[in-house]
């Protein structure tokens, strides 16, 4: 299996060029469901140690249905097959450029939740125009065992988010373990208490929004991913959901740009335009860097061929 690894703001992406399972035909959403239900062992073996690492997201290249797209992709991590991944799309775009498959300019990429547009400005800088994002519920109260009632917004940015603003804890690197534990508890409580999408979709990510020490930075976030690790980047789909909340509260005007930092300080530039269905069309600009090009081997005698289950 041939792969190319990159990182976007410190968050790793592994693009699988070949050697993945046959997911058949149909829409990317249908193929993503097959990956989730029929090939869990495959995607976990790629993400888990000793081959993978915590926080890594896989990007399986597949044939797009839409002929205007340069690629189709299905994202996943150790916790779930994902609808969309913002940092992964930035990493994928830089990887495609590294391979010589695309040049600077605007391109379309098909994901299970729809087609996204990417603009490659240079070898490392990408702007993703994400799927329409929306806030579904405002100030939802969930009772978190051991912590009491915590309020947050439920929003969609390609994945489902529970966004707490302001964060119950300072968003800094010294609090990463405490933020992780609290976010896991918040997500479990939100799912148990039915705080999710319009059609009962469960929360898969939690965001804590905090203040940034720099004056020219709008805010700093901590994002918990489905695999219970934190996002080293500011999270593209999470930033999209956050933009929907800011727009709904009239705290950010269409076209106005802000800088969002992650808990480790990596930046995205964010803005939005009004969407056709009442939501927002987010624009996320970040940088990715290729870190490895390698061949992954699977030895049938390896006791950890399918990865280490923690």
Residues annotated catalytic, as ranges: 85, 235
Distance from CA of residue 157 to its chain's centroid? 9
Rounded Cα–Cα distance for residues 34 and 232 (Å): 29
Q: Which two tokens stand for residue 39?
A: 């090939």
Q: Which two tokens stand for residue 136?
A: 């579904």
Q: Which two tokens stand for residue 202?
A: 């469960």
**Residue partners of 169: CB distance under 8 A and separation at least 6:** 175, 178, 179, 182, 208
Neighbour tally for 146: CB within 10 Å: 7
Rounded Cα–Cα distance for residues 166 and 210 (Å): 6
Burial 41-61 (b: 16+ CB within 10 A, else e): ebbbbbbbeebbebbbbbbbb
* Nearest to 242, CA basis, from 229, 256, 260, 224: 260
């Amino acid at each position: 299996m041939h792969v190319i690894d990159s990182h976007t703001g410190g968050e790793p992406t592994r693009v699988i060029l070949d050697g993945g399972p046959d997911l058949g035909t149909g829409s990317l959403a249908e193929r993503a469901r097959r990956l989730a239900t029929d090939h869990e062992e495959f995607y976990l073996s790629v993400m888990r140690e000793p081959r993978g690492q915590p926080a890594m997201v896989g990007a399986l290249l597949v044939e797009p249905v839409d002929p205007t797209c340069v690629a189709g992709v299905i994202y996943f991590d150790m916790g779930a097959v994902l609808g969309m991944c913002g940092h992964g799309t930035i990493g994928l775009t830089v990887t495609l450029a590294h391979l010589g498959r695309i040049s600077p300019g605007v391109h379309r990429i098909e994901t299970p939740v729809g087609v996204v547009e990417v603009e490659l400005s240079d070898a490392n800088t990408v702007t993703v125009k994400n799927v329409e994002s929306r806030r579904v519920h405002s100030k939802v109260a969930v009772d978190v065992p051991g912590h009491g009632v915590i309020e947050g917004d439920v929003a969609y940015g390609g994945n489902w988010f529970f966004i707490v603003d302001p964060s119950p804890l300072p968003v800094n690197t010294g609090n990463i373990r405490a933020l992780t534990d609290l976010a896991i508890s918040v997500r479990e409580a939100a799912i148990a208490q039915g705080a999710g999408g319009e059609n009962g979709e469960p929360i898969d990510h939690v965001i804590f929004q905090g203040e940034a020490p720099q004056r020219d930075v709008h805010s700093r976030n901590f994002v918990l991913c489905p695999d219970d690790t934190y996002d080293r980047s500011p999270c593209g789909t999470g930033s999209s959901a956050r933009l929907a909340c800011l727009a709904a509260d009239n705290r950010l005007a269409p076209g106005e740009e802000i800088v969002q930092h992650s808990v480790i300080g990596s930046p995205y530039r964010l803005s939005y335009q009004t969407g056709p269905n009442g939501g927002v069309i987010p624009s996320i600009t970040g940088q990715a860097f290729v870190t490895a090009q390698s061949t992954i081997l699977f030895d049938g005698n390896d006791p950890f061929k399918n990865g280490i289950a923690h």
